[in-house]
Amino acid sequence: MARKYNFNPGPAVLPLSVLETAQTALVDFEGTGLGILETSHRAKEFTAVLEQAKTRMRSILGIPDSHEIAFFQGGANFQFTLIPMNILPSGGRAEYVDTGTWSTRAIDAARLVGEVAVIASTKEEKYSRVPRTDEMKWSHDAAFAHITSNNTIYGTQFQAFPDTGTVPLVCDMSSDFFSRKVDVSRFGVIYAGAQKNLGPAGVTLVIIRKDLLDRSPENLPPMMSYKKFVAKNSVYNTPPVFSIYVVNLVLGWIEQQGGLEAIEKTNDQKAAALYGLIDSDPDFFRGTVKPESRSKMNVTFRLPSEDLEKECIAKATEDGLVGIKGHRSVGGIRASIYNSMSLEGVEKLVEFLKNYRKAH
């Protein structure tokens, strides 16, 4: 079997050990004689998986008792709508920072629900950085404040999170959740589609501060109400059993690696290897992001011409380095180097790029 190095932005690479465990479980899940895809979401074996996933999330990330964990379907996009429906009271105002495609989606969805103010944007600079702390003028009376921690398409990332005082900070962490340590107590809501850094598509992880559950309007349908959905421990209806199962395996893998401390260290090394190459030859590798905003998950750059980019992507693919084509809206090259991409894989890509550069 020839496994390739997968630099796709999502769904993305998963640890081989996780895939192999899941492969076995497709046929026989923990000796039950039933496959995981055939297992009832009310079976005690699945309940144990769900509880273990929550326990692992709490211990790995340090989620305090003040916050609940929920597993939704519908992706991060569904949360773009659920967040204002649940925690933006009528007559209230939400404040958003615009750092690219996904925050724009979040803003557009929230505007259909209530009043939204965009308090900072780097659109004029083609989203080549995230706003500085002093550029984000939060008010003290907003219902909540929203940011996107890692901008998957543009390759930017908040290195530090803004201080929004008593206004709950809501964060889309879809593409860097569990890639670094985060002080969860500072957030009102954190949400993330699993398919970038934590598992398969189909499940969205939501961490929500308990007091915010009381904001859910009573007339919201149960599937859309944070309060009602959390009260049913994410099994109001049939949850995405397989996706949650795999997320739990990935969380176990993170523990085996040594938790977020070890994960973060490797992620730093991986990012340093690629940005080091970019900085060593800026005429050829043209980083698209201001250094202070560089993402450690999605590394974006251009080559001197689109023809070179095309050829480079094709040659990399031939060499088993797949998924480095930039998003269709920005072009160029993007290497997504989530937790499950090994340092070895990144070193292979760096070596390939160096050789490509030499040949041109």
Ligand X SMILES: *Cc1c(COP(=O)(O)O)cnc(C)c1O
Tokens 């950085």 locate to 129
Q: Which two tokens stand for residue 332?
A: 């160029």
Q: Which two tokens stand for residue 33?
A: 């004689």
Q: Report the residue from 8, 157, 164, 174 that binds ligand X according to the rule CB under 6 A.
A: 174
Q: Report the residue from 68, 95, 98, 172 that binds ligand X according to the rule CB under 6 A.
A: 172
Kindly report the number of other CB atoms within 10 A of residue 211's CB atom.
11
Q: Report in angstroms how near the CB of residue 102 gets to ligand X at its nearest.
A: 4
283 is catalytic: no
Q: Report the residue from 148, 164, 234, 266 that binds ligand X according to the rule CB under 6 A.
A: 148
196 is catalytic: yes
Q: Report in angstroms how near the CB of residue 205 gets to ligand X at its nearest.
A: 11
Q: Which of 289, 252, 297 is nearest to 271 (CA)?
A: 297
Q: Which residues pair with 204 in a beta bridge?
A: 72, 193
**Using rule CB under 6 A, residue 10 touches ligand X:** yes
Residue 39 or 150: the one with the smaller Cβ distance to ligand X is 150
- CA-to-CA dists, residue 153 to 126, 158, 192, 256, 303, angstroms: 11, 14, 15, 30, 17
Report the SS3 class of residue 116.
strand
Q: Report the residue from 122, 175, 243, 288 that binds ligand X according to the rule CB under 6 A.
A: 175
Q: Is 218 left (phi over 0), alpha (psi -120 to 50) or beta?
A: alpha
Count of positions on this chain that bind ligand X (CB under 6 A): 12
- Contact positions with ligand X (CB under 6 A) in 60-79: 75-77
Which one from 54, 138, 172, 253 is the annotated catalytic residue?
Answer: 172
Q: Report in angstroms how near the CB of residue 110 gets to ligand X at its nearest.
A: 14
Q: Report the residue from 54, 196, 227, 325 that binds ligand X according to the rule CB under 6 A.
A: 196
Q: Which two tokens stand for residue 109?
A: 């969805």
172 is catalytic: yes
**Contact (Cβ atoms closer than 8 angstroms) between residue 135 and residue 113:** no
Residue ranges that bind ligand X, judged by CB under 6 A: 10, 75-77, 102, 148, 152, 172, 174-175, 193, 196
Catalytic residue list: 102, 172, 196
